[in-house]
A and B are shown apart, each in its own frame.
Chain A
Amino acid sequence: METFIQVLIDGMLSGMVYALVAAGLCLIWGVMDVINFAHGEYLMVAMYVSYWLGFLANVDPVVSTVAAGAFIFMIGALTYKLIIRFTIGKPGLVALLATFGLAIFLKNLCMNQFSPNFRIMSDTWLSGKTLHVGGLIIALPQLTAAVLALIVVGLLYLLVNSTKFGWAIQATAMDREAAELVGINTERIYILVFGIGGACVGVAGGIMPSYLAVHPEVGSMFGLIAFICVAMGGFGSIPGAFISGLLVGVVEALAGFYIAPVFKYVAVFGLYLAVIFLRPKGIFGW
């Protein structure tokens, strides 16, 4: 039983980070109907921001996660201004290919600037520290990332559902022209949505160097899992993305331990296919 709880906790901790990465993507996808293929690369850039702040200025990832979030907010806003706005009103494939190109650009830029070397932060406040509860071991870096994920996703949910700005986002997502008719500056909403979506993944990437090596390929798998979480949770549903993230983490951990480690992603993608087959709009889709 203890092993089961341990595996469950590990899965939930991973799942919350997936949820945070997915929440940003969900917001962009839900509001703008743009599939941001560079989302995983945003995460990778955020990890580099955190790493270099640690390496050059001795700033711990727990602190630099804020800077990483702010930096990726700007990258997100710039992405909209420089790329995405030219694709609005064009077939969806245009934006998709544009962000795909951006993903390749960011990955190769980092490879060129920082080399493909793996960079590890060893002397952080959290690295290697664990919390022992009975026989259970909870890794503090992952626990901190999970708590951060919970806070950021909660704030994002409140922002979208309980503020005027959030209602404006929802109105823009439902009908851009109607939103403009009632005085909403939809261009500004789009910039901020791309920025906030980026900031979410930026915060996740900022804390991750506490336990994960930084390298140009690190974002790819997280990006893919984020797509699954968003599609499974229902496009544009932040609670959906959160629940899906948790579900993916738990299924991955349980299947990895109780079936075989090599099956953990098989189980995740299998779950995704099952959900999409039974409920094409996702768990919380409407």
Chain B
Amino acid sequence: MFYRFSRLMSLVACMGLLCVLFGFGYGTTPAMAQEKVIKIGTIFPLTGPVATAGQRCQAAVQTAVEIINNKHPEIKTPLADQEGILDGYKFVLVHADSQGKPDVGKAEAERLFNQEGVWAIIGSYNSAVSKPASLVAERMKRIFMCGASSSAALTQRDMNFFFRLAPTDETESVEFVEVLKWLNAKKDANIKTVGVIYENSEFGKHAAGEAKKASEAAGLKIVCDIPFSPGATNLNSEVQTLKNANPDAVLAALLGADYSLWIRTMKQMAWAPKIAISYCSGYQDPVIAKQLGPDADFFMGSTAYSPQFASLMPAVADVEKIFKEKTGGVPFDGDSIQEAVAMLVLAQAIQKAGGLDPEKVAETLHNNTWDSPLSLGGKVAFAKGGQNVKAHSVVTQLQGGEYKRIFPEDMADTQIVFPIKPWNQR
């Protein structure tokens, strides 16, 4: 009898221990109320081909949390002058690595909600990852804040708990074509043909689709359509195809190392179009721009932030000091800053909703316009489906290693260099 009892007690003790070790019950307790902690999951590509961007996005969310959790009177963003939110709640981040893979991202979203018990997720940089990971959140009626993923399809799903800060490929494509029309009108550029080059992924395919749609609507002829496998050993065939078609303008969607390889291969083949405009991509990476040196100059792209925008966004400077401590001195770029905005807006919404009911917070996010000194437009507001209708970006051109604002004209700080200077004249 005693033997049986002691076995039963051992079993209970073991189960208790397992519960403690594996956090049994977290899934049913989203916020650790006793400790006044709100767990937020982040999913970014911390390893893999776009890990650089992912790690910066993660650092941006950490920066925002540091500002919200602690008193920073010198920083001019909402919630910076107080400690935490909701009368003492503080945010704790739980990080996950998607490796840039949709299946891994989805599995990590499930793990974050079910095992880590996070209250909401911020991520995931790659549109291909944000898509399935946000579906997990939607199914569980939890909020998914998406900073930088740009595929227009993400906010065309009419989801209730998905919110995206960045402009979409659709709006950027329209803006790029506006630039081409403006050049034709003002500079007699005679741009008639367009080529698109893009990585064969959710992001690249959607960007290219929107680029072609916008170009054709403006009467421009698509003369080459070049998808490629990301992480390729060379881009010779791709650039040779571009060179052969010789489009006046190239619209490009290339990430990370592929962007630098593309630029170098064009130089090697002694060819460049009259104008090349990139979606959020390797173009925005300040490290790549610096390392490519003069080769990076005169290429263009959409930019939501660069240190040269300081006069337009004065509040960024103090926030950027914290960010740079985490990135070894690398400043914000247009993608990472959106993730910081995502965290700050979420915190404001929780504060305004006055509690941690995800449905109420989602409703609050939808029904209000949020102050956002880290955004180019200064405001954030979400339409049905979760798109930030106040999202702005300007078209910049790299000149002397600096992102110069070119378009729209009322925001320009420099004249465009058109056409791109030949490689041997730099």
Contacts and interface: CB of A to CB of B under 8 A. Distances in A.
A238 B7 CA distance: 65
Interface residues of A, number: 44
Contacts of B268: 128, 130, 137, 139, 142, 211
B295 A122 contact: yes
A278 interface: no
Interface in A102-142: 107-108, 111, 115-120, 122, 127-128, 130, 137, 139, 142
Interface string B277-298: 0000000010110011101000
Contact of A211 (B229, B256, B264, B285): B264
Interface string B84-128: 000000000000000000000000000000000000000000000
A144 interface: no
Nearest to A117: B52
B257 A115 contact: no
B257 A265 contact: no
A7 B241 CA distance: 10
B226 to A, nearest CB: 5
A137 B54 CA distance: 37
Interface in B216-242: 226-229, 231-238, 240-241
B261 interface: yes
Nearest to A122: B293
Nearest to A255: B237
A41 interface: no
A178 to B, nearest CB: 40
Contacts of B54: 116
B136 interface: no
Contact of A264 (B48, B237, B244, B295): B237
Given A7-B240, A10-B236, A222-B233, A118 B291 contact: yes
Given A120-B288, A256-B236, A261-B237, A137 B256 contact: no
Contacts of A225: 233
B237 A252 contact: yes
Given A217-B49, A253-B237, A261 B270 contact: no
B360 to A, nearest CB: 39
Contacts of B328: 115
Interface string B190-213: 000000000010000000000000
A92 to B, nearest CB: 28
A256 B295 contact: no
A257 B260 contact: no
A170 interface: no
B241 A257 contact: yes
A257 B240 contact: yes
Contact of B270 (A118, A130, A221, A264): A130
B237 A212 contact: no
B371 to A, nearest CB: 33
B19 to A, nearest CB: 32
A14 B240 contact: no
B261 A108 contact: no
Contacts of B264: 127-128, 211
A135 to B, nearest CB: 11
Contacts of B288: 118, 120
Contacts of B261: 212-213
B236 A218 contact: no
A108 B260 contact: no
A115 B267 CA distance: 27
B411 interface: no
A39 interface: no
A3 B246 CA distance: 14
A122 B293 CA distance: 8
Contacts of A186: none
Given A7-B237, A10-B236, A261-B241, A116 B260 contact: no
A260 B47 CA distance: 29
A59 to B, nearest CB: 18
A137 B51 contact: no
A14 B227 contact: no
Greatest chain B CB density within 10 A among A7, A115, A117, A142 is at: A117
B369 interface: no
A222 B234 CA distance: 10
Interface in B32-70: 47-49, 51-52, 54-55
A26 to B, nearest CB: 18
A87 interface: no
A203 B347 CA distance: 52
B269 interface: yes
Greatest chain A CB density within 10 A among B240, B260, B268 is at: B268
A255 B236 CA distance: 11
| In the complex, the 10 A-B pairs of residues with the closest C-beta atoms, listed nearest first | A256-B237, A116-B51, A120-B291, A261-B238, A139-B268, A10-B236, A213-B257, A262-B227, A257-B237, A261-B237
Interface of A: 3, 6-7, 10-11, 14, 18, 107-108, 111, 115-120, 122, 127-128, 130, 137, 139, 142, 211-213, 215-218, 220-222, 225, 252-253, 255-257, 260-262, 264-265
Given A115-B328, A128-B295, 6 more contacts: A7-B236, A10-B236, A128-B264, A213-B260, A257-B241, A261-B237
